[in-house]
Chain A
Amino acid sequence: MLALERVGKTYPNGVHALEGVSFSVALGEIIAIVGGSGCGKSTLLRAISGLDTASQGRVLLDGAAVTAPHEKIGIVFQEPRLLPWLSVADNVGFGLQDRPKAEREERVERALRRVGLADKAGAWPRELSGGQAQRVAIARALVPQPEVLLLDEPFSALDAMTRADLQDHLLDLWADTRPTLILVTHDVDEAIVLADRIMVMRPRPGRIFSTIKADIARPRNRQSADFDRIKNEVLAALDHSLVDDRSKRDAPRGADGHRAAAAL
């Protein structure tokens, strides 16, 4: 189980990016984090990944603090970030270097078949389309069988058709080993299609504004009434988070302003 305890992040330049974020995620749960730009979504994800460390609070995986990249936590970035000098198969197997060759090859082949790119095993990353490259990146992150997979706006650079296709694909892959998924996105539809819980963040400093449960059976229909109901809830929360932020900026001497100053 993954747990966050009052995680905060202040950058060395004084930017207070994140404050008091606490939640816990059960194994196999899918969380989506949404919010306006600059609300600390990516900062939060990077703190969980161990690529950055929280300046306040702790990230705990199965009770142990995460302070550096962890073998049970995988990450998919906004860009595929494939290594251009490795073939597609070697990119997928990048995290399995310490395994015997036969096992590595077998797992890579299975993963590539799972993402529908078995015929691209020998190709170079530059020969892939954007959607294919991101599928390879997801396969690379999943092949070491992480307990937690973090996704930082993984589909935001893709066109709408490819994006919907990859969302279905991600759920399909998730069903294999059922890791915890934490997905940062600014696409509300994407959050509702994928997540069990949707967390809306609000900026300056970034924190959780509200949490909305999406208790719809899978596979989810984007045209259903339930989908619309949750979408309205999320959009309303997003609106509130931004209105609050605006009024706070207009009145910087308010109660929140004092609290932020104290935290600094």
Chain B
Amino acid sequence: MSLVPMTIAADDSPADEKLRKPVLARFARPALGLIVPLVLALGWELAVRTGLTDGRLVPPPSVIYATFADLAASGDLQRHALATLTRVAAGFGLGVVIGTVLGAITGYSSLISRLLDPTLQALRAIPSIAWVPLFILWLGIFEASKITLIAVGVFFPVYLGVMGAVMSVDRKIVEVGRAFRLTGPQMVRRILLPAVLPSYIIALRSGLGLGWMFVVAAEFMGASEGLGYLLVDGQQMGKPAQIVAAIVAFAVVGKATDWIIVAVSAPFLRWEDRFARHEGP
């Protein structure tokens, strides 16, 4: 409730009349996108407050906020978020390592590519959730099966991204390395790694996105903690506000981890001539 009028007030506040044009230019477009969700949230809040609806199954923003605050105050939210984050980190790490190694060698050697790639592509065609019963039989119902499922989800985009990136390294640039008599390891460090880095970062980001998707599936399999557990618990106990609070937590943590990848890689990608940098006013 308190957030909504403030934002609207800031939009047409006369205080920044002088700065109006540049500020408008910078914020007008994102602000435009906020109008629909804000109006919907405010409308729903008013509908519940005025008794038009009881809001039992679709809680109003104030109730969601209160649930979120309660969960955070008791430390539950942090505990569940940490459990989920740990699973994603372990599965992501595993998937990235295997995906990078296999992607690099299949991209580098056409023989190994012909040997391995058809099998991997066939496995990729299987919807990863279909593995769940097997993973539970093989690895039990605890962490190992969950982390494996996440790793499988992360593996494929990373594998495909690295293989494509290594295969498309400019032969002419590699020849510059040869002309300067680089050894194998020097060639990797000074030519191949920087050349594949931009596509690698994109592969990591799509891998991470799938990791977040699969952690939910993994926690649906049966978990005693984690944000996915909060979802299941909210459903079984009939607490829709808890479900939405967990969804918001997923969005925040997922976006934050993606932002970490972008922020860490940004200094290494300053050289890139991306049209996005020059786009727009």
A→B interface (CB under 8 Å) = 49, 51, 68-71, 74-75, 77, 79, 81, 83-86, 94-95, 97, 124-126
Contacts and interface: CB of A to CB of B under 8 A. Distances in A.
Interface stretch (B53-61, B87-95, B172-180, B211-219): B172-180
A143 to B, nearest CB: 11
B272 to A, nearest CB: 8
Given A51-B179, A68-B181, A81 B271 contact: no
Given A83-B191, A83-B194, A126-B271, A69 B176 contact: no
A75 B270 CA distance: 28
Contacts of A70: 181
A122 B118 CA distance: 45
A44 B277 CA distance: 43
B17 interface: no
Contacts of B175: 51, 77, 81
A70 B181 CA distance: 7
A95 B178 CA distance: 11
B273 interface: yes
Contact of A83 (B173, B179, B181, B273): B173
A75 B271 contact: no
Given A85-B271, A126-B271, A79 B181 contact: no
Interface in B254-281: 268, 270-273
Contact of A126 (B178, B181, B191, B273): B273
The winner among A51, A85, A94 for most chain B CB atoms within 10 A is: A85
Contacts of B194: 83, 85-86
B181 A71 contact: yes
A95 B180 CA distance: 6
B176 A81 contact: yes
Main secondary structure of the interface of B (DSSP, over half): helix
Contacts of A97: 186, 190
A138 B270 CA distance: 25
Interface in B170-210: 172-173, 175-176, 178-181, 186, 190-191, 194-195, 197
The winner among B175, B179, B268, B273 for most chain A CB atoms within 10 A is: B179
The winner among B176, B178, B271 for most chain A CB atoms within 10 A is: B176
A69 B175 CA distance: 10
Given A124-B271, A126-B271, A83 B178 contact: no
Contacts of A86: 194, 271
Contacts of B272: 84
A49 B186 CA distance: 20
B173 A81 contact: yes
Contacts of B191: 83
B191 to A, nearest CB: 7
A112 to B, nearest CB: 18
Given A51-B175, A77-B172, A79-B172, A84 B181 contact: no
B166 to A, nearest CB: 16
Contacts of B181: 68-71
A46 B126 CA distance: 48
A69 B178 contact: yes
B183 to A, nearest CB: 11
7 contacts: A49-B179, A69-B178, A75-B179, A94-B176, A97-B186, A124-B271, A126-B271
Contacts of A71: 181
Contacts of A79: 172
A86 B268 CA distance: 10
